[in-house]
Amino acid sequence: MSKTFTREEVSKHKEKGDLWIIIDSTVYDLSRFLTIHPGGLAALLDDEVAGKDATDTFFALHRFEVLQNPQYVRLKLGHIQGEEPQMIKPPPGSLSEIPFAEPTWLSKGCHSPYYNESHHRLQTAIRKFTEEVVFPDAQAREEDGKRVSQHIFEARVRLNLPAMALGPGPHLKGLTLMDGAVKPEEFDCFHELVIIQENSRLHARGYSDGMAMGTYIALPAIMKYAAPEIRDKICREVFAGQKFLSLAVTEAYAGSDVAGIRTRATKTEGGWIVNGRNEQEGGIIVLLIERGEGIETRLIRTSYSTAAGTAFITFDDVFVPDTHVLGHPTDGLRTILSNFNHERLVYPSSALRNKISNFHRWALACGSIGTQRAIVEECFK
């Protein structure tokens, strides 16, 4: 049982080496925290703080979640007798009460023709999973710059999130999605929107990219253009969390100019020889290259986070068989540009593929709007 104190008892502990304060009816012993407090010693020895109720002062400078940090939880001594906390952390999966933090379709009394009960079920399940399972790892990996922890990949596989990241389609058939929150046959582009926007709440952009972006931007080309036996093998391995993908379409010489890449593929018997430092000649060919001899990768320390896993790749006389050509060998530019469709454009159904050009950059828009809501929420907090 937690110890209880009176406010008079707390007021006797207000000196250096013996300092207590009250935050939201909880008593904290800051005696050993004084020297490491980011705001300095004077801020805690202030007459309005030391030995007193510092709730207003604390929340004027900090958000509630700070108190959930294990290093601060250890500072708790007990509670003020007869008082109850007023700041109560909502249970995992709860909607935010901050203005503009949530889309209107999640607000009471609002209706949208694009969302039904399955979207609400998925949103609740994804948020709970994100807050309880993913968020702690995301913050830790953003701090240390390491890759996403293996248990996160395994948890996502169990819920079939890697498959859902590819949007609606036959690849979902027979799968149990998010413990049954949504059925494969009813999964649409707005379910995908929900997943993208909930990931925006991680406050960890680099980590988010490292968790799923490789699959998100690389697998669609394989699903559409690879030979059936290769396609099925890779999809099976990726959806099971056994293999990871990257999309290599950017070079120091070319930037975002896909047509300007210099990595060269030379035809040889039964396949192609790829080298990553030669001038481009002729058209573009898109190849599925498995990691092996002649391939080296080196981490790029990007401006946001090394948790993203962004890497510099070099190819030194790498043999790629003809069976690993994606699309037509002489029409690679069309292949790679069409691969951007899912990254920047989602097709709700094959019948609508030629009718929704105004959905351009759908996925990027979903993520941007979700991030903007998260920023608004943070500012209010």
Q: Mark whether 198 and 268 lie in a shared domain.
A: no
Model pLDDT, residue 343: 58
Model pLDDT, residue 220: 86
Q: Mark whether 178 and 254 lie in a shared domain.
A: no
Average pLDDT over residues 343-372: 59
Contact 238, 215 (CB under 8 A): yes
Q: Mark whether 99 and 137 lie in a shared domain.
A: yes
Q: Mark whether 267 and 194 lie in a shared domain.
A: no
pLDDT digits over 73-92, tens only? 899 999 999 999 988 878 88
Per the model's pLDDT, the better-predicted residue between 255 and 148 turns out to be: 148
The 3 state secondary structure assigned to the chain is: CCEEECHHHHHCCEECCEEEEEECCEEEECCCCHHHCCCCHHHHCCCCCCCCECHHHHHHHCCHHHHHCHHHHCCEEEEECCCCCCCCCCCCCCCCCCCCCCCHHHCCCCCCCCCCHHHHHHHHHHHHHHHHHHHHHHHHHHHHCCCCCHHHHHHHHHCCHHHHCCCCCHHHCCCCEHHHCECHHHCCHHHHHHHHHHHHHHCCHHHHHHHHHHHHHHHHHHHHHCCHHHHHHHHHHHHCCCCCCCCCCCCCCCCCCHHHCCCEEEEECCEEEEECCCCCCCCCCEECCCCCCCEEEEECCCCCCHHHCCEEEEECCEEEEHHHEECCCCCHHHHHHHHHHHHHCCCCCHHHCCCCHHHCCHHHHHHHHHHHHHHHHHHHC
Model pLDDT, residue 226: 93
Instruction: Tell me the average pLDDT of the chain.
Output: 87
Residue that terminates a domain, selected from 48, 80, 112: 80
Per the model's pLDDT, the better-predicted residue between 231 and 108 turns out to be: 231
Which residues, in sequence order, are bridge partners of residue 27?
A: 22, 78
Domains identified in the chain, total number: 3
Using left for φ > 0, alpha for ψ between -120 and 50, and beta otherwise, residue 169 falls in left
Task: Specify burial of residue 34 (Cβ count, 10 A radius: 0-12, 13-18, 19+).
Answer: middle
pLDDT digits over 42-54, tens only? 888 888 899 999 9
Tell me the residue range of the domain where 254 lies: 242-344
Angle (nearest 5°) at CA 182 between 179 and 188: 140
- Binning pLDDT at 50, 70 and 90, where does residue 342 land? low
Q: Mark whether 329 and 360 lie in a shared domain.
A: no
Q: Mark whether 338 and 362 lie in a shared domain.
A: no
Residue 232 in domain: no
* 161 vs 145: CA distance, rounded Å: 23
Model pLDDT, residue 272: 94
Tokens read off for 108: 């009471």
In angstroms and rounded to an integer, the radius of gyration of the C-alpha atoms of the chain is 26
Q: Mark whether 49 and 74 lie in a shared domain.
A: yes
The CATH number of the domain holding residue 36 is 3.10.120.10
Contact 337, 178 (CB under 8 A): no
C-alpha of 117 from chain center: 24
Residue that terminates a domain, selected from 54, 80, 106: 80
- Binning pLDDT at 50, 70 and 90, where does residue 350 land? very low
Residue 211 in domain: no
Tokens read off for 80: 């003020």
* pLDDT at position 101 over 80: yes
Q: Mark whether 323 and 294 lie in a shared domain.
A: yes
Residue 22 in domain: yes
CA nearest neighbour of 178 among 201, 210, 155: 155
Lowest mean pLDDT of 5-19, 79-93, 99-113, 332-346, name the range.
Answer: 332-346
Q: Mark whether 328 and 376 lie in a shared domain.
A: no
Residue 143 in domain: yes
Contacts of 162 (CB under 8 A, 6+ apart): 156, 212, 215, 238, 239, 241
Residue 380 in domain: yes
Model pLDDT, residue 325: 94
Using left for φ > 0, alpha for ψ between -120 and 50, and beta otherwise, residue 93 falls in left
Residue 331 in domain: yes
Q: Mark whether 104 and 30 lie in a shared domain.
A: no
Contact 300, 248 (CB under 8 A): no
* 40 vs 57: CA distance, rounded Å: 15
Average pLDDT over residues 364-368: 85
* pTM tops 0.95, yes or no: no
Q: Mark whether 340 and 358 lie in a shared domain.
A: no
Residue 368 in domain: yes
The CATH number of the domain holding residue 262 is 2.40.110.10
% residues pLDDT > 70 (the chain): 92
Residue 71 in domain: yes
Q: Which residue has the tokens 């609400």?
A: 120
Model pLDDT, residue 359: 37
pLDDT digits over 177-187, tens only? 999 999 999 99
Distance spanning both ends of the chain, measured CA to CA? 31
Model pLDDT, residue 10: 95
Average pLDDT over residues 346-373: 60
Q: Mark whether 375 and 278 lie in a shared domain.
A: no
* pLDDT at position 139 over 70: yes
